[in-house]
Amino acid sequence: MSMASLPNSPALSFSSSLSTTANLLPCRRFTAFPRRRASSFSVQAKIREIFMPALSSTMTEGKIVSWIKSEGDMLSKGDSVVVVESDKADMDVETFYDGILAAIVVADGETAPVGAPIGLLADSPEEVAEAKAKAAKSVPSGSPAPASPSDPSPATPPPPPPPAKSVSEGPAKIVATPQAKKLAKQHKVDISTVAGTGPFGRITPADVEAAAGISPSKRNVAPAASPAPATPAPPSKAASGSAAPAPIPGSSVVPFTTMQSAVAKNMMESLSVPTFRVGYPVTTDALDALYEKVKPKGVTMTAILAKAAAMALVQHPVVNATCKDGKNFVYNGNINVAVAVAINGGLITPVLQDADKLDLYLLSQKWKELVEKARAKQLQPHEYNSGTFTLSNLGMFGVDRFDAILPPGQGAIMAVGASKPTVLADKDGFFSVKNKMLVNVTADHRIIYGADLAAFLQTFSKIIENPESLTL
């Protein structure tokens, strides 16, 4: 769904420049991290550049979802002009000036680095033609297309010279396999007089045996087999590379969306953190009874689990800590519980800020608002990138246990499975059936140790098994 059709979508204002070296970045309605980037084309006075805004601290490029305005449209200060997709959300960009949208430099569906010009704004109709000309000139000059044709031309001549050099230098420089040199010494053959038949004139064992007058033997067969795999090896790699794009008939290659690219980047970054995992069974009969009582009032199970986790984190602040550089770590002053949510085409983690301080009902209301904004791709950056601890719940899908990957910049993530009836024996040997769920926590071992995590899970279990404190 285009964000242009959402009347309440978050908005962002941009500013632009008046000088001949225009390169002022957009002004934003939230704290962002502007980057300066030299314009790829000069702009005359009264023609302003519209830049790709930085919608978050991790955003390096943005994708144009759609232009709300068309070329030639009159713009007034505050009008929404374009919808930009960042790594987590879509946002409307508003104009900071009155004027005419003279030229669109980056079209719908295309991406541009943060700080790059995506359009031109003219003050009057007289400057529209000039702006269009500037925009048109920027395309060929900025595109790498001319550079690529010029590369093949020098690349074509070099191949002929190398073969010529290898032939002429063959007698001067001896190029032989180790086995060929060994055979030459064994049979007292002057290897400098042997003509190589291997790749690039390399002397093979077979060449030495031929120079020594040795008839084909088992020894000759073995050397022949040894260089053979070496020569076909490169083609096999090339063949596998060429076959990779379409190994299965009817398959298709789908490029990552901006969000999927961000998730992939974060997951790769997570691999650099030494983590460990601890599992813990939790009895949920009392929790299930509480949920049935508060469910009619709009309370969700996710809110209950987030509240319980936040209360446990108050008692175990090291589990809420963060280590970013491997040299020191930070005890976070706020307990912000991020909760993983699957949305169309990706994954996002809306953050319940100060989850330990909000009552259960307010927390549930806040969570519903965040989910609606996440699915509409309307979350503000601080609503998805400020988490200090993450909760991932797959229990509603019947999953009994799973491991979660630690998000970058956090100390721990909790994976919650489904609550299922389990047969238990008490200390007297009597059997009973109780509901249990398995909780697995993945933690950064640089700052959190096994005993820390075990103590945290014990506290979490006590809160779940005696949930009256959750409603206070």
For the chain, the domains span 48-136, 178-211, 274-470
Rounded CA-CA distance 175/191 in Å is: 10
Q: Which residues of the chain have pLDDT under 50?
A: 1-45, 140-172, 217-233, 235-242
**Whether domain 178-211 has CATH 4.10.320.10:** yes
Q: Tell me if residue 254 falls in helix, strand or coil.
A: coil
Q: How confident is the model at residue 129, as a pLDDT?
A: 79
Rounded CA-CA distance 437/89 in Å is: 33
Q: How confident is the model at residue 207, as a pLDDT?
A: 83
Where does residue 188 fall: left (phi above 0), alpha (psi -120 to 50 degrees), or beta otherwise? left
Q: Give, to the nearest 10 degrees, the angle between helix 178-186 and helix 205-212.
A: 20
8 Å CB contact between 63 and 118: no
8 Å CB contact between 64 and 82: yes
Where does residue 414 fall: left (phi above 0), alpha (psi -120 to 50 degrees), or beta otherwise? beta
Q: Which CATH class is domain 274-470?
A: alpha beta
Locate tokens 């302003």: which residue? 48
Query: How would DSSP label each residue in 167-204?
Result: HHHTTTS--B-HHHHHHHHHTT--GGGPPP-SGGGPBP
pLDDT tens digits, residue range 405-426?
A: 999 889 999 999 999 999 988 8
Q: φ, ψ for residue 234 (rounded to 5)?
A: -60, -45
Rounded CA-CA distance 399/418 in Å is: 6
Rounded CA-CA distance 381/388 in Å is: 15
| CATH (residue range 48-136) | 2.40.50.100
pLDDT tens digits, residue range 92-138?
A: 787 777 888 888 888 888 888 888 888 888 888 877 877 778 777 76
Q: How confident is the model at residue 93, as a pLDDT?
A: 80
Q: How confident is the model at residue 139, as a pLDDT?
A: 55
Q: Tell me if residue 283 falls in helix, strand or coil.
A: strand
The one-character DSSP state at 4 is G
Q: Which residues pair with 462 in a beta bridge?
A: none
Give 96-153 as a 3 state SS string. Answer: CCCEEEEEECCCCCCEEECCCEEEEEECCHHHHHHHHHHHHHHHHHHCCCCHHHHCHH
pTM value > 0.85: no
8 Å CB contact between 84 and 113: no
Q: How confident is the model at residue 467, as a pLDDT?
A: 93
Token pair in block for residue 118: 């995506």
Q: Which of 187, 316, 382, 445 is catalytic?
A: 445
Is residue 187 annotated as part of the catalytic site, yes or no? no
8 Å CB contact between 379 and 88: yes
pLDDT tens digits, residue range 240-296?
A: 444 555 568 888 888 887 777 878 888 888 888 999 999 999 999 999 999 999 999
